[in-house]
Copies of this chain bind each other. A is one copy, B any other.
Amino acid sequence: MMKPMPASTTPGAPASTRDRLLDAAAELFYREGVGVGIEALCRRAGVSKRSMYQLFASKDEVMAASLERSAPAYQAFLLPPAADDRPPRARILHVFERLEEAAAAPDFRGCPYVAAAVEVKSPEHPASLVARRSKDALTAFFQQEAERAGAKDPTLLARQLTIVFDGAGARAVVQAQGLDGLAVATVGALLDGAGIHS
């Protein structure tokens, strides 16, 4: 699933206050938006406000840290494993197949990183900085695969693929329905145009 997942903790170990707070934050902000209050957040996490403020200076910091914490699980969901030795085209399409899968769920609310950046309305908000890094990591994956495939302009292609990823996510939100192959078809057309047939 694309919605933020609790990041892994040591198996068997009880989740720390910090982890419980950030996992609750990731889920609540994704589902209800940036307007979620400190009270609701702490209640959900089972953490006192005092404990929260001992760990974080502000709600903005909690939001950024929660996005940061779910980034590895998010990437693991979207990207093919390093050991997957399929050619670049298949590895790129893998990301969009995952997106289509996530977008078909009724509780899909788009890419959590784009949503955060759109909602906070400020490029300097700590959550915006995390969103930018997350998106840059996706673009870097596309670029690496485009280079492997010998694309003429891997940087341009990687940015185009990122745009399709985010536009497809936005479409699923606005239309409130799955993508039905649209993201994969669009990327297929761009890869064809770039001469990446395998």
**A residues touching B (Cβ–Cβ < 8 Å)?**
31-35, 109-110, 113-115, 117-121, 123, 128, 131-132, 135, 156, 159-160, 162-171, 173-176, 182-183, 185-186, 189-190, 192-194
Q: List, in ascending order, chain B residues with CB within 8 A of A131's CB.
A: 174
Alpha-carbon gap, A62 to B26, bound state (A): 29
Residue of B nearest to A121 (CB): B33
Alpha-carbon gap, A135 to B34, bound state (A): 24
With A166-B170, A189-B189 already in contact, 4 other A-B pairs whose C-beta atoms are closer than 8 Å: A114-B118, A156-B182, A160-B189, A193-B193
Which of B33, B117, B121 interacts with A31 by CB under 8 Å? B121
With contact pairs A114-B174, A163-B164 given, residues A121 and B32 touching in the complex (Cβ less than 8 Å): yes
Alpha-carbon gap, A176 to B123, bound state (A): 6
Alpha-carbon gap, A32 to B168, bound state (A): 25
